Amino acid sequence: MKINSILIRPLITEKSTQQAGKGVYLFDINRDANKHQIAQTVEKLYDVVVKSVKVIVRKGKEKRVGKKMISKKMPNRKIAYITLSKGEIDLFPKA
């Protein structure tokens, strides 16, 4: 699997920004990626040392869409909680 296809995007929520102060970062990742690939990718892209990776799969919600309010199932999401032992990831870079 290619490096740029493993991490989809960082999750920026109120909970994730609070945890970023403790050295824990949340990323939306590819469903086929495993913990070792995630750790290697984060270390290469952000030049940090990864302590641990926890992965959860969030079930897709049912949304009602359109004029007739037809139910549509959203896809499942895989989220990684990445704890760093050394370094820091800049989620809000100054352009």
3-86: CATH topology:
Alpha-Beta Plaits (3.30.70)
Q: How many CB atoms lie within 10 A of CB 71?
A: 8
What CA–CA distances, in Å, run from 66 to 59, 62, 83? 22, 13, 40
pLDDT tens per residue, range 8-61: 999 999 999 999 989 999 999 999 999 999 999 999 999 999 999 999 999 999
What was the pLDDT predicted at 29? 95
The pLDDT of residue 72: 94
Which residue, 41, 44, 49, is CA-closest to 83? 49
The one-letter amino acid code at 58 reads R
Specify the pLDDT at position 85. Answer: 93
Q: What is the mean predicted confidence (pLDDT) over 65-81? A: 94
For the chain, the structural domain boundaries read 3-86
Can you tell me whether residue 87 is helix, strand or coil?
coil
